[in-house]
């Protein structure tokens, strides 16, 4: 289980349907990345299905290019943060640090037809299936940039066994 990686690329856009812009550094703020469409409330799925920050694995982008011939290096995946070397599934129901910011992985981010329509790439939704990345909430704001470490901190899901052990230990 790879729980440490690096930020390979950062993408934001100020409004739904606008092209993603590459960033070297960004500020994670309450609600998302400063100036990004979902943090501003102008995303396509606002207010129904908001992911504050989306992460996608660089390895998934590589596989899509190899298998489907689709180049997503220009942010066509419409995810905010591209990582390398970390298994994003390990960050679900967990807190993790990126640069100065702390996030909590909340759920997988499946692809949708809207991504395919905005990117204008036929087959993109199917290519992203099972590789769409994850959603995360900003827990502790801070700045991060390309090359910064992505570090697992702790699981946040309810662990009944750990609770039972703690109660037993407390009772002596």
pLDDT band at 51 (very low <50, low <70, confident <90, very high): confident
Write the pLDDT tens digit of every residue in 59-112: 999 998 898 888 888 888 888 999 999 999 999 999 999 999 999 999 998 766
CA separation, residue 17 to residues 116, 132, 147, 159 (Å): 11, 18, 27, 40
Residue-by-residue DSSP string for the chain: ---EEEEEEEEE-SSTTSPPEEESEEEEETTEETT-HHHHT-STTTTTS--SEEEEEHHHHHHHHHHH----TTSTT--SEEEESS-GGGGBTEEEEETTEEEEEEEE----HHHHHHHT-TTHHHHHTT-S-EEEEEEE-EEEETT-EEEEEEE-S--HHHHHHHHHHHH-
pLDDT band at 55 (very low <50, low <70, confident <90, very high): very high
pLDDT band at 123 (very low <50, low <70, confident <90, very high): low
Mean pLDDT of the chain: 84
pLDDT at 153: 95
The pTM of the full predicted model, rounded to 2 decimals, is: 0.84
Residue 122: pLDDT above 70?
no
pLDDT at 8: 97
Residue 23: pLDDT above 80?
yes
pLDDT at 79: 86
Count CB-CB contacts under 10 A for residue 87. Answer: 16
pLDDT band at 163 (very low <50, low <70, confident <90, very high): low
Question: Nearest to residue 35, comparing CAs of 10, 8, 55?
Answer: 10
Residue 36: pLDDT above 60?
yes
């Amino acid at each position: 289980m790879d729980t440490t990686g690096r930020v390979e690329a950062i993408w934001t856009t100020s409004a739904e349907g606008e092209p993603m812009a590459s960033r070297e550094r960004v500020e994670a703020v309450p609600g998302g990345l400063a100036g990004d469409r979902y943090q501003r409330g102008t995303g396509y799925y606002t207010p129904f299905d908001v992911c504050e920050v989306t992460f996608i694995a660089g390895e998934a982008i590589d596989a899509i290019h190899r298998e489907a011939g689709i180049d997503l290096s220009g942010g066509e995946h419409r995810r905010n943060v591209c990582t390398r070397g970390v298994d994003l599934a390990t960050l679900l129901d967990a807190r993790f640090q990126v640069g100065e910011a702390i996030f909590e992985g909340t759920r997988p981010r499946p692809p949708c037809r809207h991504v395919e329509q905005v990117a204008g790439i036929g087959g993109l939704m199917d290519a992203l299936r099972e590789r769409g990345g994850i959603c995360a909430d900003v827990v502790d704001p801070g700045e991060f940039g390309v090359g910064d470490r992505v570090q697992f901190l702790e699981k946040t899901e309810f662990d009944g066994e750990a609770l039972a052990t703690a109660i037993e230990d407390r009772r002596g």
